[in-house]
Chain A
Amino acid sequence: MKLEDKKRVLREMVVHRRFEERCYQAYIERKIGGFLHLYPGQEACCNGVMEAARPGYDYVITGYRDHVHAIKCGADPKEVMAELYGKETGSSKGRGGSMHIFDVSKRFMGGYALVGGPFPLAAGIAKGIQMKGGDEIAICFLGDAANNQGTFHETMNMAALYKLPVLFVCENNLYGIGTAIERSTAVVHQHKRVCGYDMEAAETDGQDIEKVYEAAKVAVNHVRSGKGPYFLELLTYRYRGHSMSDSRGYRSREEEEMWKQRDPIYILRDRLIAEKAMTMADYEAMEKEVDAYIENEVIKFAEESPEPKVEELEKYVLADRESQLPWITGKAA
């Protein structure tokens, strides 16, 4: 990665981290409801892959831990936070919530809350690309536990069979909700599971963004050049529980501490400091600037935005009726 890109991405990752931590606080304050799945610890995965791809051009789809993926594709953090607050200005107009962030203008095709549900949708988006003849690719970010759904095997088979331009990124954070991977899954290393479909696959350290970037470059090039799907496994760790109701009784504090020693933000920060590209003071100043941005712009926007109108409860269930009248009434000719 180029130095300028590394410095930019470091700031982006700090935004992502602070955004998520601020969500935690807002949830405690009951400003955010429902389920909330946070991303700290995994930032290098999304950032490293998307640095090798084309955010806003390539199509991205993911599960319910989706805030950072949306922002990385170009969604405005203000609109994502407003969505979490359930506001009309939210990215899904307050109808989606934390697990259903969408920004189709940035080709972020959404967060979906059924584990494994996005696999076939991603393959379908790739089918759409194939039909339309573009050079975009579809990128599907999901966790390791999604690979125990039938949709995983069914989709890997079809993606390989139809040679679809789709990159599956498995963020293996070692836990499916509160069950350790070795207690739920016969194979810990997930990339081994696609060899039955003759699919290209690789595994790398998901904490070091430069390693993620290098592996993703190979993966993205493979898919974009028309060689079919690719499966990239990134070994990572989520610091917080699966969701806010999770007190992490299924793992030790020592294990968590061990992973925090390999924090993706600090790995990049310390490397930039060692390369004399920045100082610790620079970093601390940047953190402060990010905090101010989150508070004064992102949170402020969400707080001050209007609620959706109750009279519009049924808006968006079906397509705009006027536009569909020829088919609704049969008076098309």
Chain B
Amino acid sequence: MAEIMYWEAIQRAHDEEMARDPLVICMGEDIGVAGGTYKATKGLYEKYGPLRVIDTPISENSYTGLGIGASFLGVRPIIELMSVNFAWLAMDQMFNSAAKVRYMSGGQLTAPCVFRSAGGAAHQLGAQHSARMEKVFMGIAGLRVVTPSNPKQAYGLLKSAIRCDDPVYINEHELMYNMKGDVPDTEYFHPLEGSEVTRSGTDVTLFGYNISVHWNLKAAEILDKQYGISAEVVDLYSLSPLDREGIRKSVSKTHRAVVVGEEEAPVGVCSEVISVINEECFFELDAAPVRVNSALVPQPYNHGLEKAAIPNAEDVVAAVLKLFGKA
């Protein structure tokens, strides 16, 4: 077990899979000669050459479609969309071609591609470079959506996504590429479905994914130390399909739920999780489930405004205390 960074974990998964299978390729803006904006493809161009590590023009929809078309012939493209904000432009091909082709061909064609992008708000990137779009992807039939919260997941989810015959969208986070964590030295495949109990607790479940798992862990620490509340932290690394059984199990144990996401609240991952709670275990609840989300504003540039728009561990603590009538 070695401690490596999130970006190194992604790079390692690329490298191992490309070394194993000559039909695994990667493509995207600045991923080759420049090594990738977040270094996730560093060194691959030198090792595998321009036919397999493709620097694309800034034409998100069409290079995504090109990767999808190649996947029809059994090529396994890892398509990087430098920032999830640019994925808006590629959604036509992702949704209309990759996600639907299996169904509308009666099972004849599949699009085994991986789409990766950096999402989330970083440091003052403004309205058009701070989108949280996982809510959009998870509503599309025919597409798997996963989102790694640590280097081990970043490595193992990408490995599994490349091997899987379904198209998989991997939602990474701009602020997490330099995060360190343990990754197994031997080959490891992370399950594409399910959830993980990151911290066990008995009084309330804090559901999160990607960066919000870290806010929840911090909040659980504060709740335990300062208020004597035992919070369970559940990591929903698979957003589509959601782990209904994992959600039910945890809520049936703690009887309270706070769902935390960096996204804006309306029509989101968190509202979906609360629906699942209602459907799976409504009568287990001791309190109405609540959510903690970003403000519904285009992301502001000003540092103070940006901070105010995004939730943090203190907001999670406040939501839990309210749930217990302590605020």
Contacts and interface: CB of A to CB of B under 8 A. Distances in A.
Nearest to B52: A131
Contact of A124 (B66, B109, B160, B166): B66
A112 interface: yes
A150 B58 CA distance: 12
A154 B69 contact: no
Given A117-B96, A315-B107, A128 B70 contact: yes
A151 B103 contact: no
B65 A317 contact: no
Interface residues of B, number: 55
B69 A330 contact: no
A120 B102 contact: no
A110 B69 CA distance: 11
Contact of B166 (A59, A95, A97, A324): A324
Contact of B64 (A95, A113, A120, A127): A120
A327 B158 CA distance: 10
A128 B73 contact: yes
Contact of A117 (B65, B66, B109, B144): B65
A47 B305 CA distance: 63
B163 A317 contact: no
A94 B106 CA distance: 7
B202 interface: no
A316 B64 contact: no
Nearest to B165: A319
A108 B75 CA distance: 18
B62 A102 contact: no
A311 B107 CA distance: 16
Nearest to A134: B73
Contact of B66 (A105, A129, A155): A155
B142 A102 contact: no
A109 B31 CA distance: 29
Interface in B199-225: none
A120 B69 contact: yes
Nearest to B161: A327
Contacts of A157: 57, 59
Nearest to A127: B70
Nearest to B59: A154
A45 B255 CA distance: 66
Interface string A292-333: 000000000000000000000001111100011011111111
B72 A128 contact: yes
B189 interface: yes
Given A158-B63, A328-B191, A100 B105 contact: yes
* 9 A-B pairs closest in CB distance: A124-B69, A120-B65, A128-B73, A93-B106, A154-B62, A330-B191, A154-B59, A121-B69, A102-B105
